[in-house]
Amino acid sequence: MNNVAILVGCQHYTDPGLQNLIGVNNDVDLMKETLINYCGCNQDMVFSFTSNDEYVGNPTGSDILSQICATANKFQNTVINTLFFYYSGHGNTQNGVPYLLPSDTIIKLNHGLISVNKLKTALDQFQCVKNIIIFLDICQSESVIKGGTDPNFQDIIPKGVVIFYSCSPYQNSYMLPLNDGGGSIYTKFLVEALSSAKSSCTVEEITNMVRVKLEKYCQEHSISQIPHTELFDPSLKDIILTNNRKTAYAIKEQFDTLDLNKSIWLIDAEKAEGDETRFKTFTETNLVKKFLKHDSEYWGVASVKGIGKTFLLQVRRVKMSRQAHCFPSVKKPSKDNNWATECIKFTDTEASIQAIESYSHIKLLWKYSLLCYILRCWLVKQRKCKASQRNKHYSDISQWIEFEYTNTKFSIWTYKFLTDDSFNKLQLIMEHTLQIEEWHSKIVSQYMTLQRLGHKIIAAISDTSKASLVLFLDKIDQAMRQPNAELH
């Protein structure tokens, strides 16, 4: 598991209107140690950037952005599970948008500030990253300087990004007294939560732990500071933050021999005989049990051929069917419908590879195609229902799609993928997407509009018994490497 961290501390300031801070550099050191020991970061993949007594004035705004760019370039060909970014220093809010105030900030000239939007754009240079976790230990008090407004602030944070704020809008983020060593109150409790948590702790759990600790401190010292966490998608609250070396989360990486209590697979399953080959019985280890829970944190399985991954997907589907809309829609799993899963087997693998120039293109292709497919699955399901059984918001959503298409927000191919019955397979959507000239540059904006549609559908089903959409995929690794290797 590759986790990368960038930590920035601004302790000294050139503007006399910004007070120098005490303990910020120590906060960065504490966070660095915590991320290495408890959050799965290797020491050589953690980069800290702080002010110091000998070189007053660093880091500047341009230094911070350059450091992010340089680190992104260093890992441009590395798949990153989680990118951590930590900033401690002055901050403020202008027209509702939080800003970081680097060491070279000049308040009267509004110079050097970095908006959260700009920070997020800089972090987007990491192409091969799954989740971005941002910790901002800054004040958010309203600035006397009114900068340019950014009305799209909430909309531009994509799925996969979580932002932890040390305080709520228009509040101050307080420091510890000098006799307690100085430093940030928030970082102190954040470090305590991350380092004292159980082996795998989620965004939601860490948020709550810090909030409880900080609330107690504020009551004792008669101050007000309420931390909060911004999520673009509610599911992000379940992202695992802590992953120390003692947890079973790193299944195979840390063990030379297979430990059944820490492995999802039966070690000699390929030697199964009789009923075992028909999966009437199978080894149910701790991880198997966790995977089969309808609300499991595990969303994928991998092993050698013949172990029973497809079977486990079927069991998981049955367990989730009461809480979610499960796709593809089938009456009964069978060989003809890939056992109720989507299975990608490109018919022209060579042409498909030629149409993809980089890993970022592969990621975009999958994200766009998956979103098109699962949203069309729900729309088709609603369309085939009797009027009395349809979701009450279906008509409004359908009209919105037509409106967006009429106003060119949806391209002709995205519109067809959503509405045309001939695109009833994920593979068809992916193959047709690759046939579009310069497809990767044309579907970026489409993906954003699809996200808006996704939010509308999730909102429409949020108050029903099935409040989520789930797609089951099998044999992903064979999509381009071994097309048609297994036809079942």
**How far is the C-alpha of 165 from the C-alpha of 136, rounded, in Å?**
5
The CA–CA distances, whole Å, from 159 to 117, 203, 239, 361, 435 equal: 14, 14, 12, 17, 27
pLDDT band at 142 (very low <50, low <70, confident <90, very high): low
Q: What is the pLDDT of residues 103-113, one digit of tens each?
A: 999 988 889 89
Per-residue confidence (pLDDT) for residue 354, from 0 to 100: 64
Q: What is the pLDDT of residues 251-287, one digit of tens each?
A: 333 333 434 444 343 333 334 455 444 444 455 667 7
Q: Is 134 exposed, middle or buried (0-12, 13-18, 19+ CB in 10 A)?
A: buried
**How far is the C-alpha of 332 from the C-alpha of 202, rounded, in Å?**
35
Q: What is the pLDDT of residues 353-397, one digit of tens each?
A: 666 767 778 888 888 999 999 999 999 999 988 888 899 999 999
Q: Vertex 455, ends 451 and 458: CA angle to 5°? A: 130
pLDDT band at 133 (very low <50, low <70, confident <90, very high): very high
Which region, left, alpha or beta, applies to residue 340 given φ > 0 means left and ψ of -120 to 50 means alpha? Answer: left
**How far is the C-alpha of 81 from the C-alpha of 247, rounded, in Å?**
17
CB 104 within 8 A of CB 159: no
Per-residue confidence (pLDDT) for residue 155, from 0 to 100: 41
pTM over the 0.85 mark:
no
User: Whose CA is closest to 285, among 269, 305, 306, 304?
Assistant: 269
pLDDT band at 196 (very low <50, low <70, confident <90, very high): confident
Q: Picking from 156-165, 402-411, 452-461, which range would have the lowest pLDDT averaged per residue?
A: 156-165
Q: What is the pLDDT of residues 278-297, one digit of tens each?
A: 444 455 667 777 888 777 87
CB atoms within 10 A of CB 481: 9
- Tokens 């028909």, located at residue: 278
For 242, residues 6+ apart whose C-beta sits below 8 A from its C-beta are: 38, 39, 194, 197, 198, 199, 200, 201, 206
The CA–CA distances, whole Å, from 9 to 6, 68, 104, 192, 303 equal: 10, 14, 13, 19, 43
